[in-house]
Amino acid sequence: MPDLIQISALSDNYIYLLHDEASGATLVVDPAEAEPVLLSLRQRGWTLTHILLTHHHNDHIGGVAELKAATGAKVVGAAKDHGRLPKLDQAVMDGDSVTVGGMTAQVLETPGHTVGHICYWFADQAILFCGDTLFSLGCGRLFEGTAQQMWNSLSRLAALPAAAKVCCAHEYTAANGRFAATIEPENQALRDRLSQVASLREQDLPTVPSTIGLELASNPFLRAADAQTFADIRRRKDTF
């Protein structure tokens, strides 16, 4: 299996590295800043080959220019957002494949947080890079898309295998959990997760990656019965 590295950046962002030992290829997802990425690469003796972007927000692309200049890595992002993403070497659409050494991701368009948001699904590695679409115990705010769009996007992610690692871009789990508990106070899986999260955060440890199975059991946004219920929960969270 490839090496998955999680790097903390800014106040609560996570940047991910995925390294394929056989080919030597290394990708980074949503580099909020360049310096911690370059440091991590140096420590491991890895060469960056690909920069994968989920959406255009600055805390996801802030380090791209510096990383591109330092490494020449190929920048991959949504064709629909090419006008507001850094210059793309590969512009992708739903269903496209992204090949990184011996690894292949399927592109999933997941509008909602932004209209151009995409996720990368590495089926053979069971790794999902989902940016600001799905968080542990939460989901991204609807800055551009509709509740129906986000519901459709989350439903696609919910259909991935239970073991799929959910590599989201923020450490929001504890705050999300306080809200989730108001929606499903009797959910034992959620209660167990909240205890685990509290313990991890006390030790200053990350609560993600999560898994699709864990989110299906505990995340009220994924557990909503339909788009209308989802929309109601999302609205309540926005004013929580």
Mark whether 132 is an active-site residue: yes
Query: Which is nearer to Zn ion, 20 or 132 (by Cβ)?
Result: 132
Does 170 engage in binding with Zn ion (CB under 5 A)? no
Q: How far is the CB of 229 from Zn ion (least distance, A)?
A: 24
Confirm if 217 and 143 have CB atoms less than 8 A apart: no
Angle among Cα 206, 30, 148 to the nearest 5 degrees reads 90
Q: How far apart are CA 56 and CA 147, in angstroms?
A: 20
Q: How far apart are CA 116 and CA 120, in angstroms?
A: 13
Q: Which residue is nearest to Zn ion (CB)?
A: 57
Mark whether 170 is an active-site residue: yes
| Residue 163, CB-side half-sphere exposure with 13 Å CA sphere | 5
Mark whether 226 is an active-site residue: no
Does 215 engage in binding with Zn ion (CB under 5 A)? no
How many secondary structure helices (H) and strands (E) does the chain include? 9, 14
Give the one residue of 57, 68, 80, 234 binding Zn ion; rule: CB under 5 A: 57
DSSP state of 169: S
**Helix 227-238 and helix 173-183: axis angle, to 10°?**
120
Does 30 engage in binding with Zn ion (CB under 5 A)? no
Q: How far is the CB of 161 from Zn ion (least distance, A)?
A: 25
Does 132 engage in binding with Zn ion (CB under 5 A)? yes
Does 81 engage in binding with Zn ion (CB under 5 A)? no
Q: How far is the CB of 18 from Zn ion (least distance, A)?
A: 20
Confirm if 183 and 218 have CB atoms less than 8 A apart: no
Mark whether 50 is an active-site residue: no
Mark whether 82 is an active-site residue: no
Q: How far is the CB of 57 from Zn ion (least distance, A)?
A: 4
Residue positions annotated with a catalytic role? 55, 57, 59-60, 113, 132, 170
Residues of the shown chain interacting with Zn ion in the complex, contacts defined by CB under 5 A? 57, 132
